[in-house]
């Protein structure tokens, strides 16, 4: 098939550029230029200019730097220091006790930062020494951190969902709402696994019988509760239709500044560092999106996605077989690239196949995010594995082995949303 050879040729160029250390955005644009120059008669220069401008001048994209800035502000507050103190009193009655601090701490911090690596590093720096001191098993400490940190990609406000929404022209508000139930489902599955493991391995857990009154629990949680209310308010305002994602992000930044100021951690240096880091990250992602948009347009001119979609259709694969093949493909890609790069690299070619197969693009966005989550704890290049290796000094294969149960739980969650798509679509289809 000529289209297969052409796609393979362009893919080789892309990986050669990435392997040479060329920026992802430049690599995408160069592949698009090569494809259009060699295989079409289209005016490459004018298309490149209009595509870059058109996809940079997007109101939906305005939510991206605001949510990143909100995360940077809270990341530099005392939230991480208060996480263990605030959550631990509530976990003492659960089977597994303080192991659940990793899960719920990661879930909260994930919603703040939207970064799995930052979540693993921040929560791990605090919880690993404390849990080690109390005698909790290292394998479960590492496993709960590795698995739970990936929630940063799914629990809204998620940066990767904004990227997917802009790249595929899906509603970001609906994507955020679609990620709520799967995110809660994963948290429940992780908690359930730890509880069952703890009941079966009581002898491996330290005995702690600390009693804490409700007043003391609330006192210790006084700084976490406002952050949880902030996250709930941002998502709730989007779900209820009161605010768009961009409006909610702007309010979130203001409230994050207020929270940081009230905790005494907001200084001029913290403000400037957070703003500059958010600017750098936002520019990087926006540049990648612009390069991906041009590659998408270029692929449209070459006709490769349409031909590949028709070829896939001619194979008469069932929807389940196609999703299984895409799962393997995304996991392999995620072993070598970060989640955002995986999404922007693949949407131009994958989405025509997905739409040709009759798969809902909104549902597929959550599907991609869960698969990318899985790749974060898959060797050889699972980013969370490297973070935890630096924190613990353990061999990366040992860390991957500790994370394996959580990888399998995410695989189970993936099967559940395939069998019951309403887990993803129920809330967005019932938005007011």
Residue 66 · residue 328 · CB < 8 Å: no
Peptide bond preceding 74: is omega within 30 degrees of 0, i.e. cis?
no
- State residue 418's pLDDT score: 92
Residue 177 · residue 364 · CB < 8 Å: no
State mean pLDDT over 194-219: 76
* Total residue length of the chain: 432
State mean pLDDT over 60-70: 76
Q: Please state the domain count of the chain.
A: 1
The Cα 200–Cα 93 span in angstroms is 16
The Cα 388–Cα 125 span in angstroms is 9
- State residue 420's pLDDT score: 93
In this predicted model, what pLDDT tens digit does every residue of 141-180 receive, in sequence order?
888 888 888 887 787 777 788 888 887 888 888 888 898 8
Q: What's the pTM?
A: 0.74
* Range in 219-223, 298-302, 358-362, 408-412 the model is least confident about: 219-223
In this predicted model, what pLDDT tens digit does every residue of 366-383 receive, in sequence order?
998 888 888 878 776 566
Residue 41 · residue 342 · CB < 8 Å: no
The Cα 328–Cα 326 span in angstroms is 5
The Cα 28–Cα 416 span in angstroms is 34
Q: Is the pLDDT of residue 83 over 70?
A: no
Higher pLDDT, 109 or 414: 414
- State residue 294's pLDDT score: 82
The Cα 51–Cα 374 span in angstroms is 32
Please give the residue range of the domain that contains residue 142. 2-429
Percentage of the chain with pLDDT > 90? 7
Q: Is the pLDDT of residue 3 over 70?
A: no
pLDDT band, residue 2 (cuts 50/70/90): low
Higher pLDDT, 409 or 91: 409
């Amino acid at each position: 098939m000529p289209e297969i050879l052409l796609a393979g040729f362009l893919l080789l160029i892309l990986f050669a550029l990435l392997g040479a250390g060329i920026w992802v955005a430049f690599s995408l644009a160069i592949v698009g230029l090569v494809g259009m120059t060699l295989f079409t008669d289209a005016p490459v220069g004018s298309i490149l200019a209009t595509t870059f401008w058109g996809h940079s001048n997007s109101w939906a994209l305005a939510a991206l730097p605001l949510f990143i800035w909100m995360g940077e502000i809270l990341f530099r507050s005392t939230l991480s220091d208060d996480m263990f103190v605030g959550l631990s009193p509530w976990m003492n009655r659960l089977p597994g006790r303080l192991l659940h601090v990793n899960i719920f701490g990661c879930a909260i911090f994930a919603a703040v930062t939207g970064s799995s690596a930052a979540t693993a590093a921040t929560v791990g720096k605090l919880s690993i020494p404390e849990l080690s001191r109390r005698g909790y098993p290292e394998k479960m400490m590492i496993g709960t951190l590795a698995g739970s940190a990936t929630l940063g990609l799914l629990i809204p406000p998620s940066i990767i969902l904004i990227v997917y929404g802009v790249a595929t022209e899906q509603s970001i508000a609906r994507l955020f709402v679609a990620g709520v139930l799967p995110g809660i489902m994963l948290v429940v599955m992780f908690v359930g696994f730890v509880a069952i493991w703890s009941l079966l391995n009581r002898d491996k857990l330290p005995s702690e019988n600390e009693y804490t009154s409700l007043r003391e629990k609330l006192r210790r949680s006084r700084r976490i509760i406002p952050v949880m209310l902030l996250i709930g308010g941002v998502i709730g305002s989007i779900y209820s239709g009161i605010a768009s994602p961009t409006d909610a992000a702007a309010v979130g930044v203001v409230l994050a500044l207020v929270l940081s100021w009230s905790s005494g951690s907001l200084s001029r240096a913290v403000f400037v560092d957070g703003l500059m880091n958010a600017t750098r990250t936002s520019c990087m992602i926006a540049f990648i999106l612009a390069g991906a948009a041009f590659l998408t347009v270029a692929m449209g001119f070459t006709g490769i996605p349409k031909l590949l979609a028709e070829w896939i259709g001619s194979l008469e694969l069932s929807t389940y077989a196609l999703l299984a093949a895409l799962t393997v493909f995304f996991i392999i890609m995620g072993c070598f690239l970060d989640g955002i790069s995986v999404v922007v690299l693949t949407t131009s070619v994958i989405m025509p196949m997905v739409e040709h197969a009759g798969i809902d693009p909104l549902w597929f966005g959550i599907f991609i995010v869960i698969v990318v989550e899985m790749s974060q704890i898959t060797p050889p290049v699972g980013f969370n594995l490297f973070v935890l290796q630096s924190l613990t000094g353990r061999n990366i294969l040992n860390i991957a082995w500790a994370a394996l149960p959580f990888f399998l739980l995410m695989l189970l969650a993936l099967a559940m949303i395939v069998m019951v798509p309403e887990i993803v679509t129920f809330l967005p289809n019932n938005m007011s």
